[in-house]
Amino acid sequence: MDGVEIHGPSADRFDEILTPEALAFTATLQREFGARRLELLRARQERQAELSAGGTLDFLPETRHVRESGWRVAPPAPGLEDRRVEITGPVDRKMTINALNSGAKVWLADFEDANAPTWENTVNGQLNLRDALDRTIDFSSGGKDYALRPDEELATIVVRPRGWHLEEKHLTLDGEPFSGSLVDFGLYFFHSAKRQLAKGKGPYFYLPKMESHLEARLWNDVFVRAQELLGVPRGTIRATVLIETYPAAFEMEEILYELREHSAGLNAGRWDYLFSVIKKFRTRGREFLLPERNAVTMTAPFMRAYTELLVRTCHRRGAHAIGGMAAFIPSRRDPEVNRVALEKVTADKTRESGDGFDGSWVAHPDLVPVCREVFDGVLGDRPNQLDRLREDVSVSAADLLAVSKTPGEITEAGLRNNVDVALRYLAAWMGGQGAVAIHNLMEDAATAEISRSQIWQWIHNDIRLADTGAVVTKELVERIIEEELAGIAAQPGYDAERYAQATALFKEVALDDDFAEFLTLPAYARMP
């Protein structure tokens, strides 16, 4: 196709996804919307400069009319009326079958934080989704065969494309890389939108990492154009937006408004939200300093404000409010680990269902019954609790910004955990794995971002560890890196070359004076 070049390696059946027609469709979206994407990314940089210079976040005065008028989003689409339990995971073949069979109402098929964007993962993920819709997907491993249950028992597929900030270097248009967002969205929509419609559902999406309603407007315009190009009725697409950046928390209503004919609600993306809090105010001293990662819970005042505002905002507009990921994962071999995980997840989902959320996320099929039981207890036979308007909730900008009220300490154990998790995750990511079970928690790019950004912030604020009294310096972190690596190296399956890559990358994103906006950007540059 004119101007389009494929730079990634070819493999079996790739030609079924990378057809001239599919590439032409995606190229049209890139040509028409690529420049606006870059403008919006520049606007992010300008806003960051304002915050670093002493500015703050607040509800926008110029959009007061949106917040005060009486609009509502489109009614729930087929397959999205009841979302009491959603499972997330990458789009590999085994996960595709297990997630669809899990008993969850929705599967977030993830091309973003739970997926390492190798070219093979990107294209095979599209094949897996199409094969699942065609019911031609199967998988065998360790003497066990995996196959789909009947259609009526399967979860609804909701695809999460990459965020606006990510590019697809293996596909270029006139010599420039495509937007990763438009590649993931475009290939799925071209191949699978009408397949979904034939099954009585539709092409549904989760939209990550947005920082403003103008970025939501861009997505809405992409949706309108894509539907027009393929002759799909306008409003068929539905999208749930992850409120997982600090600026987006102040623009929830405006984001819903921009997508209102295509909106399926908002999700409380808690882990990326914590990362964004650190990132946006990283130069502002101890007022925006969080304790170590495992000490920050959803009961922290600023996190309560964020989640309660999200439920109120969604239900006021007739939109679903979906809770966040409980990172705990069960163990089929260790009863105590399993007991703790189930208790933690039950408590988390009990809080969310009580707050008015319509459903929530889990990362493992064994947790689907746990989440479902909790929400069944609140919902009963109702598909959601959109009627709970939460008019008792009143959240100010100061409430959202009250990071300093978060209880907790910063200890050497917390610092070591951040180093250990980040090294293990980055090593796996460089090997093509985006969701990794580490110390009985499901880690993805968001949790790795918290780990490395906390260390950067602690170094730049001369933090003294609560248990040892040592000041967090580059030298201390480098020593801990070597000590944690020695422990990892003594374990089975250690790959010295991959951990050398992970260590170099970690030092760049955690110890350099300049803060990398996303660790996935330099990581992707290192990826073949």
Q: Which residues are catalytic?
A: 160, 444
What are the structure tokens assigned to 114, written together?
């739970």
For tokens 């890196």, what's the residue? Answer: 481
Spatial strand order in the sheet of 4-6: 4-6, 167-173, 176-179
| Residues 52/44, Cβ–Cβ less than 8 Å | no
Q: How many helices (H) and strands (E) does the chain have?
A: 19, 15
Say how far apart CA 328 and CA 393 lie, in whole Å: 29
Question: If we measure between CA atoms, which residue out of 170, 165, 188, 168 comes closest to residue 180?
Answer: 168
- Per DSSP bridges, beta strands 144-147 and 359-362 are unpaired
- CB atoms under 10 Å from CB of 480, counted, come to 18
> How far lies 368's CA from each of 84, 99, 101, 389, 514, in Å?
10, 10, 11, 26, 41
Residue from 28, 472, 460 nearest 284 by CA: 460
16 touches 126 (CB < 8 A): no
CB 206 within 8 A of CB 359: no
